[in-house]
Every structure is written in structure tokens, then in C-alpha cells.
């Protein structure tokens, strides 16, 4: 900072203030500032005016390693940062440098962007063991004091039960950037997500919760910027309490907080919950070669996992350079305070935790009883919202599908892999396909969880879109500038006979049918379905399975090219799920007979071979078997409604045929139903003429047929 741009003799008063809450808290008469640092020797609060002139105030008090002060004249909109005086000894894990302006980890709004260059780094380029004292203030965005007031009106959380939930994973910009009915000035923003055309689209799909990809303030990596790319996905967090202004139409510093709240309020009015994809496993400061932006310069050893025998280096269970130190109480407090803030102040309804296995690494191994999970379990606020784990990281033993505590649900990676393998015709998949279709009891029942512990998905942001899953055998990531080395190589995809776009009508018809197969399976499986945005519209990324850096038409939904036939099909299947509780049971099947007065005792579920006989062990173990029918007994649902009344439903028969030829299925005898009506077919519009018990029905090659039972 040029001395002319710094007020060294401030006229502002600063009082001692309070150590809690952490961050900047405006109370109507001024603002309290509080910052944790166990290693700091002095902390300066740096206030910036509209011209960038900096005023420094030393925080006058420290209690329990929290430095604090109250400035009576500071109001919402004030930009600020900190300078932390303390040891700079990387070998001992300390990296304080008062020449580096650092962001408040508790900032509720951040304004501006990073200007990449030497000042952001505490070492000289080319010599990581040196120290650089260039002032970084001009290169840094600034935290912003916000006005906490917002008129929520009568807002209340929808609180949908998990079993009734349909999740739609979406990117704020990717979902809304090209929609022709959204005003151009708000496309790609929180306001656009709240626009009536987006809400109507979600409602038409039966969506009850939108899961937004990261909206915490994140950093665009310098390496991507140099390539003309950007961190589109946002898994590079630097502000755990601040919504990113890149998704805001408001020009006012801090205005994006109000816009985010207005989005949540509008979605709640439409009975749609808001779930945030959150990244608490690492930050944007990277490894020992990374910049000093926030926690590194505040208390490096408290906030980050360091290598025990050489604290210059960072433990990396995420593949991003660092891992947050969830074994330290103040690091844990930051995570919990952030979660509570988003629930209580921003009114969100749940969280999906990126690489959640990292949060269980209290020491080295993944520990499901780590302090983080104990705190969540005991917290009266966080424990009451939806908690979804991405149950893996990149460290040893990081794949933990099925191993999270009872309060949690999980992205079921085994569901994704099995369903993909089944429909592309892989051998010996039928038995596991049956398990995934019925809620993955093998993964969740032993821990006392229910079918809805399984968040079922076929595609997500990471990987192929649904259309690309049936159009490409190989990834095509050249646009990312990494010589096609990035992204997963084993996609469990099948191009149906040609790589990429084709004019072959038979291949295109098969691809369309395969997409319908996947959507039908997903929406009618037990558990919670998650649709990846645009899959219902036939969205393509042209074979790129890793568009993390593609903030352009490659990754956005192309609303003008939407596959309206596929959309209508998805809507119709989702409506079947919504209307029939037999597809969203709250308890696992047990296979035991259900005895009704005057009726045959039928099991709650039955697996039938195409000839109508019960599936045998030999049938399940036949590697080439790819066809099965499953009977779901609507009288065998062991649930009650909110009034305690027993839940009953119609019964259904789902005929799955992943074989390359059509298969004839024999319908069950009369005790299962006196007639059967086809209601869903992935091959063609179903003929709604009733079929008699024992009738034979043709199921096309690679298709699924759903029939509804009727009793005279």
C-alpha cells in the first residue's frame, strides 16, 4: 500500500467490543469485529473507503485467542480486511505476514476479485523458502459488513420428508444463462433461479428440492485464467458464510446477500427446498506454493492439516493441495457456525457435503465417530436439516459408501455404477441391480437407516450428462487444455454404436430409449432420486465429462434445443412416483406375505422371471441374465400417514429388459391382479388396454414396461 493511500492516524474510535460472535456484526449503532488467531501477536482491522484508501485500527482486546473491537461509526457496506502480526516460520507451520491483507473467515459478504501476481504470495516466485513482503491489499477483494435485516414475511421451510423428496442438482448460471424467458440482465443469477419460468419447470418435474452447486465465495484459479478458462463449478471456497457475488444481479456491495435470501423465499413459496453443495474439506489457498488469502495468514496450523514431520507441507486428502483441520476446535467451530448461519439467517434447508470423508479424518483414517459428526448430531439446528454426504475423498480408505452415521444420507455411487452397467448390458449385474432398485438395504439397513438414506443418481455435475452417457464411449475433454488427461476414464457409458452425434435413425432411437430407461429406473427406485440439471432436456456437453472450467455454452443448458419429448416423459414418470407411495416406501422390503382378509397372502415384493415363475438362485447367478420383473405390493407398505392411518396403494409390475432382443413376459396369476394396465413404457407410448392375468406382453429390446394392477 502506498503511504499516500493509507490513513496512519485514524480519527475513528475503536472500543473493546466482544469476542463473540466471530466476524463483523452490525447492531444498528456500529460494528463489532472478532477474529480468532492463536499465534497472532497483534491484529489490525483495515477499513477501506470507496477510493481504496486504507485505515488501520489495532484490535484492542483478546480473549481466548479471539481478537476483537467495536467501531461505532462502521455501517453496512463498509469494506474491510485484516493484517495479522505474528511468526512467519513455515517449517514450524506458521505463515503470518502483516504485509498480506487477509479475508475474514467469517465474512458474510465479499466484494471485488483477486488480481493474481506476486503480492498475493508470501514467498518469492522461484524460491518457496524465501519471504515476500509486497503489500497485497490492492490485489485482494474485501470483506463487507452487511445489514442482517431482511423481510422474510411468512417464510417457512417446506420440510419435505426424505421419502417424498426429488432433488434437482443445478448450477445457478448453467441453469438460467440461456433461458429466453428470463430477462437478460438477471440471467445466471440467484434472481434468475427464482424466476417463475424456472420455478414452473421444477414444479412440472415434481422437484421438491433444488441442490445448488457451490455458491460460497470461491476463487478463480490463476492457472485457469491464464488459459482463458475459469473455475466454473466453484469447488474452490474462500468464504464459508458469503454467497458469491458472481451470481448476483445487484451492483451494491452486500446486495447479493439480499438477492440470495429473496431466491430462497421465492422457492419456499413454491414449496421447493434449497440445498447447498458445500466445500468444507479444503480452501482455495492450496498447498505450500499457494497464495496467502485468509486462514493461512491468520493461523495456518489451526486451520489446516499439516504434515507432522515437516509442517511446511499440507496433508491433501482432496487433490486440491490442502485439507481443513477438523481436529482443531476453532476450525470445527467455523464449519458449525457456517452451517448454522446458512440455516438460521439464509433459511436454507440442507447441505450436500463435498468429499465428506475428509471431514471424518480426525487423525489419519476415516472415523465415522469423529468430532465433526458428533457436533452435527448434537446440534439442535444443523441436525434438523437435510444432510447429504459425498461419501468419498481421494485419500487412503476414502471410499465410504454406506458407512456414514444414521442421521446422514449419501450419494450412492454404487447405485450409479450398477444402473449404468445394467442398462449397457454388462454381465452379472442383475442381482445387484435388484438391490439398488429396492433401496440398497445391503448398504444402509444394518445401521438402522431407511431406503431414503440412498440418494440415487445416474449422472451428476461430475461426469457425462445423461445424453452423453448414451452417446460416447470415451471422454472428449480437449477444450480443458489438459490433453484429455483430466476427468474419469472409466465412465461406464455406451455410445449405442457410434461415437458422438450421428444421423443413423436406429442409433438415435436407441439412445432416446436408453435415456428413458435411466429416468424410469431412477424415478421409480426406492430411495431419493436426484436429477442432474438438463438431463430431462437432453443436455449435452459434447462428450466432455469434466466441465469444471467451462463457463460457456458447453456447460450451460441450451433451452432452445430442449428435447421436449424427453421432458414430457420425465414429467409423466415423476408424476407416477408422486402419486404412488409404493415407489417411495419409508422401510425396506422384507419379502414376507401380507395377509388381508378375504385375499391371497402375497409378499410385499416378488421377483419373477420372464416366464412368470419365481426367480431362483440359479436365475440370479446366471451371468448373461438381463431381464426380470418385480412385483410391488401396494397392500404391503409398512407405513402410516401423518394421521397414523395405514398407507395402501395399487400394486405394480415393473418389467426390465436390458437384453439386445425383445423378451416376452408372462403376467402374474389372478391373485396378483384381475387386470394389468401399462402406464409407462420406455419403448413407445403404452397401450392402455387392460391385460388379463397370465397374458403375455412383449417388452422391446433394452426397455422397461410398468404395469398397474387392478382388482375387480
**b/e sequence 430-449, b meaning 16+ C-beta within 10 Å:** bbbbbebbbbbbebbbeeeb
- CB-based contacts of 229, cutoff 8 Å, min separation 6: 480, 481, 549, 550, 551
* Cell numbers placing 285: 489457498
- CA–CA dist 332, 352 (Å, integer): 17
Closest to 481 in 3D by CA, of 225, 236, 291: 225
- CA–CA dist 148, 413 (Å, integer): 39
What's 317's DSSP letter?
S
Strands 409-411 and 386-389: parallel
* Bridge partners (DSSP) listed for residue 324: 304
- CB-based contacts of 14, cutoff 8 Å, min separation 6: 45, 57, 58, 59, 60, 69, 70, 71
- The question of whether 354 is a catalytic residue gets the answer yes
Q: Using omega within 30 degrees of 0 as the cis cutoff, is the peptide bond preceding 702 cis? A: no
Sheet containing 605-608: order of strands: 605-608, 627-632, 652-657, 703-710, 675-681
Q: Which whole-number Å values give the CA distances from 559 to 192, 503, 555, in the listed order?
A: 14, 22, 12
Specify burial of residue 289 (Cβ count, 10 A radius: 0-12, 13-18, 19+): exposed
Strands 6-7 and 54-58: parallel
The end-to-end CA distance of the chain, in Å, is: 84
Given 169, 390, 410, 563, the catalytic residue:
390
The region that residue 367 occupies, defined by phi over 0 for left and psi between -120 and 50 for alpha, beta otherwise, is beta
- CA–CA dist 64, 621 (Å, integer): 63
- CA–CA dist 160, 344 (Å, integer): 18
- The question of whether 641 is a catalytic residue gets the answer no
* Cell numbers placing 353: 457435503
- CA–CA dist 528, 111 (Å, integer): 37
Given 354, 410, 535, 650, the catalytic residue:
354
Active site residues: 354, 390
Amino acid at each position: 500500500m502506498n503511504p499516500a493511500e493509507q490513513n496512519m492516524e485514524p480519527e475513528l474510535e475503536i472500543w473493546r467490543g466482544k469476542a463473540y460472535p466471530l466476524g463483523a456484526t452490525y447492531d444498528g449503532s456500529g460494528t463489532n469485529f472478532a477474529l480468532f488467531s492463536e499465534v497472532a501477536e497483534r491484529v489490525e482491522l483495515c477499513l477501506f473507503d470507496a477510493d481504496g484508501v486504507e485505515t488501520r485500527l489495532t484490535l484492542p482486546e483478546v480473549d481466548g485467542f479471539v481478537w476483537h473491537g467495536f467501531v461505532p461509526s462502521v455501517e453496512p457496506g463498509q469494506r474491510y480486511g485484516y493484517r495479522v502480526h505474528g511468526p512467519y516460520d513455515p517449517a514450524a507451520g506458521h505463515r503470518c505476514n502483516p504485509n498480506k491483507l487477509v479475508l475474514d473467515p467469517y465474512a458474510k459478504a465479499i466484494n471485488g476479485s483477486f488480481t493474481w501476481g506476486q503480492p498475493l504470495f508470501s514467498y518469492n516466485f522461484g524460491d518457496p523458502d524465501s519471504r515476500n513482503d509486497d503489500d497485497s491489499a490492492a490485489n485482494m477483494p474485501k470483506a463487507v459488513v452487511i445489514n442482517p435485516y431482511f423481510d422474510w414475511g411468512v417464510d417457512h421451510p417446506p420440510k419435505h420428508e426424505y421419502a417424498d423428496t426429488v432433488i434437482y442438482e443445478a448450477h445457478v448460471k448453467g441453469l438460467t444463462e440461456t433461458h429466453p424467458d428470463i430477462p437478460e440482465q438477471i440471467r445466471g443469477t440467484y434472481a434468475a433461479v427464482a424466476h417463475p419460468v424456472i420455478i414452473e419447470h421444477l414444479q412440472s418435474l415434481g422437484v421438491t428440492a433444488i441442490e445448488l452447486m457451490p455458491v460460497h465465495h470461491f476463487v478463480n484459479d490463476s492457472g485457469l485464467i491464464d488459459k482463458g478458462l475459469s473455475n466454473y463449478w466453484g469447488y474452490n471456497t474462500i468464504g464459508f458464510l458469503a454467497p458469491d457475488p458472481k451470481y448476483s444481479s445487484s451492483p451494491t456491495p452486500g446486495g447479493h446477500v439480499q438477492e440470495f435470501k429473496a431466491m430462497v423465499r421465492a422457492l419456499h413459496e413454491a414449496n421447493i427446498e434449497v440445498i447447498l453443495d458445500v466445500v468444507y474439506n479444503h480452501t482455495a489457498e492450496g498447498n505450500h506454493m499457494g497464495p496467502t488469502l485468509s486462514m493461512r495468514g491468520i493461523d495456518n496450523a489451526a486451520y489446516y492439516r499439516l504434515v507432522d514431520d515437516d509442517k511446511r507441507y499440507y496433508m491433501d486428502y482432496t487433490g486440491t493441495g490442502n485439507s481443513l483441520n477438523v481436529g482443531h476446535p476453532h476450525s470445527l467451530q467455523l464449519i458449525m457456525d457456517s452451517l448454522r448461519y446458512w440455516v438460521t439467517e439464509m433459511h436454507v434447508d440442507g447441505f450436500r457435503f463435498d468429499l465428506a470423508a475428509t471431514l471424518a479424518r480426525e487423525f489419519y483414517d476415516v472415523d465415522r465417530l469423529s468430532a465433526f459428526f458428533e457436533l452435527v448430531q448434537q446440534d439442535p439446528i444443523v441436525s434438523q436439516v437435510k444432510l447429504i454426504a459425498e461419501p468419498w475423498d481421494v485419500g487412503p480408505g476414502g471410499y465410504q459408501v454406506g458407512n456414514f452415521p444414521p442421521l446422514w444420507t449419501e450419494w450412492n455411487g454404487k447405485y450409479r455404477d450398477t444402473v449404468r452397467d445394467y442398462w449397457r448390458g454388462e454381465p452379472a449385474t442383475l442381482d445387484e441391480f435388484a438391490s439398488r432398485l429396492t433401496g440398497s438395504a445391503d448398504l444402509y439397513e444394518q445401521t438402522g437407516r431407511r431406503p431414503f438414506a440412498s440418494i440415487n443418481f445416474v449422472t451428476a455435475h461430475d461426469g457425462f450428462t445423461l445424453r452423453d452417457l448414451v452417446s460416447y464411449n470415451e471422454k472428449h475433454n480437449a477444450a480443458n487444455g489438459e490433453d484429455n488427461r483430466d476427468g474419469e476414464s472409466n465412465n461406464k457409458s455406451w455410445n449405442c454404436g457410434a461415437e458422438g452425434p450421428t444421423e443413423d435413425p436406429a442409433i438415435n432411437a436407441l439412445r432416446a430409449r436408453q435415456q428413458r430407461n435411466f429416468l424410469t429406473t431412477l424415478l421409480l427406485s426406492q430411495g431419493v432420486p436426484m436429477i442432474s440439471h438438463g438431463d430431462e432436456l437432453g443436455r449435452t456437453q459434447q462428450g466432455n465429462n469434466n466441465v469444471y472450467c467451462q463457463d460457456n455454452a458447453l456447460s450451460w443448458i441450451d433451452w432452445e434445443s430442449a428435447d421436449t419429448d424427453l421432458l414430457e416423459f420425465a414429467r409423466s414418470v415423476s408424476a407416477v412416483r408422486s402419486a404412488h407411495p409404493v415407489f417411495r416406501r419409508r422401510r425396506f422390503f422384507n419379502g414376507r406375505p401380507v395377509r388381508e382378509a378375504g385375499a391371497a397372502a402375497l409378499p410385499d415384493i416378488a421377483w419373477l422371471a420372464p416366464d412368470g415363475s419365481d426367480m431362483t438362485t440359479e436365475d440370479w447367478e446366471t451371468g448373461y441374465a438381463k431381464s426380470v420383473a418385480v412385483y410391488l405390493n401396494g397392500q404391503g407398505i409398512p407405513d402410516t400417514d401423518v394421521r397414523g392411518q395405514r398407507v395402501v396403494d395399487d400394486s405394480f409390475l415393473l418389467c426390465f429388459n436390458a437384453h439386445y432382443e425383445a423378451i416376452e413376459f408372462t403376467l402374474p396369476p389372478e391373485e396378483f391382479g384381475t387386470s394389468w394396465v401399462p402406464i409407462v413404457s420406455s419403448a413407445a407410448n403404452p397401450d392402455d388396454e387392460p391385460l388379463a392375468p397370465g397374458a403375455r406382453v412383449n417388452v422391446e429390446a433394452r426397455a422397461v414396461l410398468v404395469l398397474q394392477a387392478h382388482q375387480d
